[in-house]
Amino acid sequence: MNQNLHQAGVKLLNALSRHSELIMQVYLSGTLQESKYSPKVIESLVKQGILWRPEAEAELRLKNAVRNLLESSLQDERNRQVDANIGSALASLKTLAQHYKEALEHGRFAESEAHLSDLTEHVYGLTESLANNVRVLFSRINNEFGYVSSIDAKIRENELAQGQVSDLLKQLELFRFDELSTVAGSHRELRHLLVVALQQCFSRVTQELAIVQARLLELLGRFREFRGRTRLLKGFVLHMEQKPDFAPGNYYNLTQVTMLFNVADKMIKPAAVDVNRVEHEQELQQIVGSIKSLHRANKGYQPERAAQQIHVEQQSSVEFAEDLLKNAVEDYFCRVIDSGKRITALDYYQENKLEFDPEAWIYQVIGGYQGLTSEEQAYFAIETSGEPHPIYNGNFIIRDVELGLR
């Protein structure tokens, strides 16, 4: 029997893990989308009591036990249900304790052992469910009923939670520790479970519930304040819509002006510098030192500095003249080479009736000679004729140059 139970349990848990996707989908959306999963899987889950169909035409839902398991393990705040059936739990505890005592009296130790473990399970189950209920309430308070958006809904949620707290407190009153201690009698295990464990749990839960209640009232006050403010604002807008020319009376002319509209004008202006204060000297100097003197007076519009269009033209005439001069020099050099005689530049100039400025011509001839590579220069000999300057020492005035072949 025990072996069977074990196997069945493992099978159930395996089914849960194998179809975890499906189960979470049902948990989050409420119902199963049957078209998405194979009918075989669904059927097996129904058989194992994980899914069930509340009505013939209704969609499949998660069994409450599975849902509870998920809610308490995931600490899901959507869980708003507070289960407070302490009366029946206590009655079953008492019954089990009677069974245990009877078994002990008759010396049926194996049976008594079973009863005791059952009782332990029940006691801890009760304490856990109480602690869980308080936790559920706290988690809802801590995010200020964040799962609903409007203030009115928050107020309703708050009222529901308050009702649950008072229910829980009423249920807690069912704890009669004197009765429990009589039931436990002098049995050590029973006393530990029924008196010590339950009492600890009881005092903790009552304390926490007191805090929960205080917090709930505080929150309710705040929500009401919020609602009041929202209504005030909305009412004002409405009023202005209905009476656009509304203006509040001139309260400032009453003999007794309310402090609310008595706001004094600002009067403090920045202080000025006192240059005669010795202790400020350093700071003032620094300030003066950091002043940049800018000599950029505003000169207004300057047409000559404005952007202008630039005309790019080829300066052909100048280039032409230069070329002419250069060609003439080249002709002169060729003439020297052809004739093999020494010819002065000015002789050549007159001979060919050149029209350049003679000085420019001589310059160009010298330049032409200097412009040759040293190898070519070696073929020519150039000699200048002229005289030293009469006044400025060391200056030599060239009157003419003579070019010949070496």
Partner 1 sequence: MITEQGRILELLLSGRFICQVSDEDAWRFLKTSGNTDKIETQLNVLNRTLASAAEGEVFYAAYQTLAEPERKVLGSQFQEISTNLLPLVEWLLLVQQAGGSDVPVTQGSALRLNELQSSIEDTPAFAEQLEKISRYRLFGSTSTHLEGQLKQVFKRLTDLGYLLKPNQDKQIYLGTGKIEYLYEVIRFIDETEALSLAEQAEQSVQQGNLL
Q: Give least dist CB 251 to partner 1, A.
A: 7
The candidate with the shortest Cα–Cα distance to 363, out of 398, 405, 388, 320, is: 398
237 binds partner 1 (CB under 8 A): yes
240 binds partner 1 (CB under 8 A): yes
271 binds partner 1 (CB under 8 A): no
108 binds partner 1 (CB under 8 A): no
Comparison of 282 and 314: residue with beta carbon closer to partner 1: 282
Q: Give least dist CB 270 to partner 1, A.
A: 10
310 binds partner 1 (CB under 8 A): no
235 binds partner 1 (CB under 8 A): yes
221 binds partner 1 (CB under 8 A): no
Residue written as tokens 């160009």?
364
Comparison of 36 and 224: residue with beta carbon closer to partner 1: 224
109 binds partner 1 (CB under 8 A): no
Q: How many amino acids of this chain bind partner 1 (CB under 8 A)? A: 37
Q: Give least dist CB 256 to partner 1, A.
A: 9
Comparison of 108 and 231: residue with beta carbon closer to partner 1: 231
Comparison of 185 and 235: residue with beta carbon closer to partner 1: 235
Comparison of 188 and 266: residue with beta carbon closer to partner 1: 266
302 binds partner 1 (CB under 8 A): no
Q: Name, in order, each residue with C-beta under 8 angstroms of 251's C-beta and a sequence gap of 6 or more.
A: 257, 258, 261
The candidate with the shortest Cα–Cα distance to 138, out of 159, 165, 163, 156, is: 165
Give the x-and-dash track for 120-159 against partner 1 (CB under 8 A).
Answer: --------------------------x--xxx--------
Q: 405: helix, coil or strand?
A: strand
From 1, 5, 56, 267, residue interacting with partner 1 (rule: CB under 8 A): 267
Q: Give least dist CB 122 to partner 1, A.
A: 43
* Edge-first strand listing for the sheet containing 396-405: 343-344, 396-405, 380-388
Q: Give least dist CB 282 to partner 1, A.
A: 16
280 binds partner 1 (CB under 8 A): no
What is the per-residue burial (b if ≥16 Cβ within 10 Å, else e) of 202-227?
A: beebbebbeebbebbeebbeebeeee
Q: Is there a contact between 40 and 33 (Cβ–Cβ < 8 Å)?
A: no
From 109, 124, 251, 396, residue interacting with partner 1 (rule: CB under 8 A): 251
275 binds partner 1 (CB under 8 A): no
> At CB < 8 A and 24+ separation, what contacts does 177-183 make?
177/202, 179/94, 180/90, 180/93, 180/94, 183/94, 183/97, 183/98
The beta-strand segments (E) located in 200-357 are 343-344
Q: Give least dist CB 211 to partner 1, A.
A: 23
From 35, 143, 188, 252, residue interacting with partner 1 (rule: CB under 8 A): 252
**One-letter amino acid of 161:** A
DSSP string, 161-220: HHHHHHHHHHHHTT--HHHHHHHHTT-HHHIIIIIIIHHHHHHHHHHHHHHHHHHHHHHH
CA dihedral over 65, 68, 70, 73, signed as positive or negative: negative
The candidate with the shortest Cα–Cα distance to 67, out of 79, 58, 85, 77, is: 79
Residues that bind partner 1 (CB under 8 A): 146, 149-151, 226, 228-240, 247-253, 257-268
